[in-house]
Structure 1
Amino acid sequence: MTSVERSERMGYEPIGRLLLQFSIPAIVGMVASALYNIVDRMFIGHAVGPNGIAAITVAFPFFLLIISTGILIGVGSSSQISRGLGAGNPERAQKVMGNGFIAMVVSSVLVVTVGFTFMDDLMRLCGASPIIMPMTKDYMSIVLWGVPFQLIGFCCNYFIRAEGHPRYAMGTLILGAFANIVLDWIFIVKMGMGVKGAALGTVVAQFGAACWVIAFYVRGVGQLRFVRSAFRPDRSILTEMAAVGFSPFMMEMFFVMVMILFNRTLSRLGGEMAISAMGIFFSLDSILFMPAIGIGEGAQPLIGYNYGAGNFERVRKTVYLAMGAAVGFFICSLIVAQAFPRQLTMLFNKDSQELISMTVRAMRIGYLGLPMAGIAIISGFVFQALGKAKQSIILNLCRQFFFLLPPLLLLPPFFGVDGVWATFPIVDVGGGVLGWFMVRAEMKRWNNSLFEDN
């Protein structure tokens, strides 16, 4: 099947089959990517205990900072690469890729330098107490050396998908995730290295993923190549990269600040045990939450293609089917979270009854609004697919700012740690209701435009 035929089938093949075909690679990739932090926390929870989980959780905002940088470069570059290839200008696309690598190198140097220079201050800002600070520093002092590999693997996956090779990009995530599992078992269980072993396993796995994506270009799998001329800085490319990637970068940066606030609030109200409980909560959240994002990623090209073709009925069907699938998945996740919270928590630690009780409490409260999150997530992908950047930004800002930040500031003083967990259902329900009304309003505009044309 030619690339043209692959695109055209989005306009006539059954939507359910297409959504399944497009979503499965994204879901697999999402889950594989989530395994990095999950596996680290599982091994550390059993080998070191609750304080070990807390030490890694405190460092999580720093990981989000690196991901934010990767999003800025990856989104800002992949858009230019796709358009360059689509316009029959592979030289331009190749130069964009080269400038993306330049941005990765510069960003890596900055992040590593800042991380080592201000490590104590950064970790205290992220909520590290004197008790867990030594373990957090042990972890960070190794993980920082993996920043260049993490950025290469993360950003190049955007480039590879932009060339039309999503399965190879999925392989990057799977390779890194399973390598991390094996290495954690060796370094933590067999060699007894604790949090240092978790950090070393992560860095080596990231190095392997970086080699995998570089091999894509060295072997000539796609159209783009490593050419010396492509690595000359181009102001216009770098400027557009920053402009296109700025919005998702800022959204992720806001989440970094929210995570810091979570850590500091929980540290103040519940100490290391509360931070550890949140670490387990977010680890489980990756498995119970990420597949719905994969459904959204699978629906996005179908929505965009049919919207561009003026086939609004297929767009509606895709939106409703994607929302139904996401809500259905979250209903199943809610049932699992409410029925087996203790068993899920014990995957990370079996010895601390205080940690188990606190995490079970977090899951009981935090997942109450989960089904509505399916509507919010798919709504965001809908507006991205339609090219409605303004609506997408409004929806995401409302979810993270109006529905999350005020409850996180107002509820804990009255309800303690429970007030922190209660912010999650507020975000899910508020974002779901707002997303539904915004998507319905957008669909009404399609009806009006059709009526005016007639």
Structure 2
Amino acid sequence: MDNQESLRHESISKLLIKYSVPAILAMMVTSLYNTVDRAFIGSIDGVGALAISGLGITMPIFTIIVGFGVLISVGGSTNISIKLGEQDKENAEKVLGNTLMLAIIISLIVMIIGILFIDKILYLFGASEHTISYARDYIGVIFLGTPFNLIAFSLNNAIRAEGNPKLAAKTMIVGCILNVILDPIFIFVFDLGIKGAAIATVLCQIIISMWVLSYFLRRKSSLELKKSNLKLDFKIVKVIIAVGLAPFLMEMANGLIHVISNTSLKVYGGDFAIGAMTCVTSIYLLFMMPVFGLSQGMQTIIAYNYGAKQYDRSKKALILAIITAIFILTTGFILIKIFPEFFIGIFNKDEALIDLAKKGININLFAMPIVSIAIIGPVYFQSIGKVKQSMFLTLLRQFIILVPLILTLPRILGLDGVWISQPIADIMAVIIVSIFLIKEFKSQAK
């Protein structure tokens, strides 16, 4: 049974394992990379606390770069899966070519704007005279690597969409392991500090982009990357953007949240509060990465089966993914509650920063066990091509609800208001997403 036949006929539980486990492993390795990367930066002798705070300043920028990668890769890969489900290989190849060209064009624009206005952007995003040099050293190198980042991101998702999740995971895992190896070499051996961490990241992005590009150019894929398909087709670009817009806007919302959060943290807690939030976010991502892997794995299954008009299989994939994600996040929540100092200590040893992070983590991660519903639910609508619902639900948690909360509550509760905004938004989003999913399933049953 080939990959496309298995998507149509194999049991959903087996498919979810087949497509999600490689993605989860890749995400876990990515999480390990992020953990090690930030741990190394936080341990730089004499400046670790300020360096981790400087890294926190760059998080909105990194999120924006990732957002453009998500726009192209999710839009492209979802449409590739749908076209393959419809047995339309020719148009799947056209989507692939346009996906690559969009990645090149958009990444060059982001790189140029970022380099030209780097200091203005960093101060706007919460940098101070104490943290700007660390933030500039890191993000300046990351901007230079943007084209390789977006090419790797976009084509890797296309590899998964065509039915080769193991290779998609392998490229990510190898890149992340290499990054972990290179980090201490560039940071400590070459004495490049936080800039060394960025150089290690970009070198890995270059290697992965060349790897995934060669996969298509050497025709190892079932899809051919044709020169004629690199010419942008407005209709194809439109459907790529239409499907990718919701997760893109979610990433932009996340970036905005980081900016607003950094500003509030700076006002009510100073530079160390930004560092503490960076630690909390890093710990949160340790356990969220498997959920993102699940959503990636289920996306291909849902999109293909929906394209093949097998709606019950799409629904089952969603439900299994949500149940698995709740189990993962509940386990993570318990571990964090029992061993908060252990997790925070991974990223920094400064006592003042640890005390801030301990208080923050108890409040900020309160709704962690159930948040997967608010994250995975919108991906279902995205996968079946319902753009309006997907866009609204994607923006709901991190923008429509959270932004007003984070602008209001800190004025009443001070620093605690920053910490508590996220769990309130999570709970409200879970309720609303659940209502939308129930209504969708009822409409399909008619």
Higher gyration radius (CA): 1
- Is the alpha carbon distance of 1:244 and 1:219 closer, same or farther for their aligned partners in structure 2, counting shifts above 3 Å? same
Partner residue, 1:396 = 394
Of 341-350 and 137-146, the range deviating more from structure 2: 137-146
State the shift of 1:266 in Å: 0.9
Question: How far apart, CA to CA, are the structure 2 residues paired with 1:222 and 1:373?
Answer: 36
State the shift of 1:131 in Å: 0.7
**Alignment partner of 1:276 is 2:275:** yes
Partner residue, 2:409 = 411
Question: How far apart, CA to CA, are the structure 2 residues paired with 1:54 and 1:174?
Answer: 27
Question: How far apart, CA to CA, are the structure 2 residues paired with 1:83 and 1:24?
Answer: 22
Q: Deviations over 1:30-66 (max 9, x none)?
A: 2233344332211010114111011111111111111
Q: What does 1:38-437 correspond to in 2, within 5 Å?
A: 38-47=35-44, 48-82=47-81, 85=84, 90-303=89-302, 318-350=317-349, 352-437=350-435
Question: How far apart, CA to CA, are the structure 1 residues paired with 2:211 and 2:149?
Answer: 12
State the shift of 1:311 in Å: 6.8
Query: Please, which runs of 5 or more residues in structure 2 have no aligned partner?
Result: none
State the shift of 1:178 in Å: 0.9
RMSD: 2.5
Of 29-38 and 19-28, the range deviating more from structure 2: 29-38
Q: Which amino acid aligns with 1:39?
A: V
Q: Which amino acid aligns with 1:435?
A: V
Question: How far apart, CA to CA, are the structure 1 residues paired with 2:100 and 2:123?
Answer: 32
- Is the alpha carbon distance of 1:78 and 1:323 closer, same or farther for their aligned partners in structure 2, counting shifts above 3 Å? closer
The alignment partner of 1:22 has SS state of helix
Question: How far apart, CA to CA, are the structure 2 residues paired with 1:2 and 1:266?
Answer: 52
The alignment partner of 1:411 has SS state of helix
Contact kept, 8 Å, 1:153 with 1:172, in 2: the verdict is no
- Is the alpha carbon distance of 1:183 and 1:357 closer, same or farther for their aligned partners in structure 2, counting shifts above 3 Å? same
For normalisation by structure 2, the TM-score amounts to 0.91
Q: Which amino acid aligns with 2:137?
A: D
Contact kept, 8 Å, 2:107 with 2:146, in 1: the verdict is yes
Question: How far apart, CA to CA, are the structure 1 residues paired with 2:313 and 2:94?
Answer: 37
Contact kept, 8 Å, 2:85 with 2:308, in 1: the verdict is no
Contact kept, 8 Å, 1:76 with 1:245, in 2: the verdict is yes
Q: Which amino acid aligns with 2:17?
A: L
Contact kept, 8 Å, 2:182 with 2:200, in 1: the verdict is yes
Q: Which amino acid aligns with 1:415?
A: L
The alignment partner of 1:255 has SS state of helix
Question: How far apart, CA to CA, are the structure 2 residues paired with 1:314 and 1:282?
Answer: 34
- Is the alpha carbon distance of 1:393 and 1:212 closer, same or farther for their aligned partners in structure 2, counting shifts above 3 Å? same
Question: How far apart, CA to CA, are the structure 2 residues paired with 1:396 and 1:215?
Answer: 33
Question: How far apart, CA to CA, are the structure 1 residues paired with 2:7 and 2:236?
Answer: 27
Of 41-50 and 385-394, the range deviating more from structure 2: 385-394
The alignment partner of 1:268 has SS state of helix
Of 31-40 and 139-148, the range deviating more from structure 2: 31-40
Question: How far apart, CA to CA, are the structure 2 residues paired with 1:108 and 1:257?
Answer: 20
Q: Which amino acid aligns with 1:118?
A: F
Question: How far apart, CA to CA, are the structure 1 residues paired with 2:316 and 2:244?
Answer: 30
Question: How far apart, CA to CA, are the structure 1 residues paired with 2:190 and 2:141?
Answer: 16
Number of matched pairs: 444
* Selected match of 1:33 from 30, 33, 36: 30
Contact kept, 8 Å, 1:90 with 1:223, in 2: the verdict is no
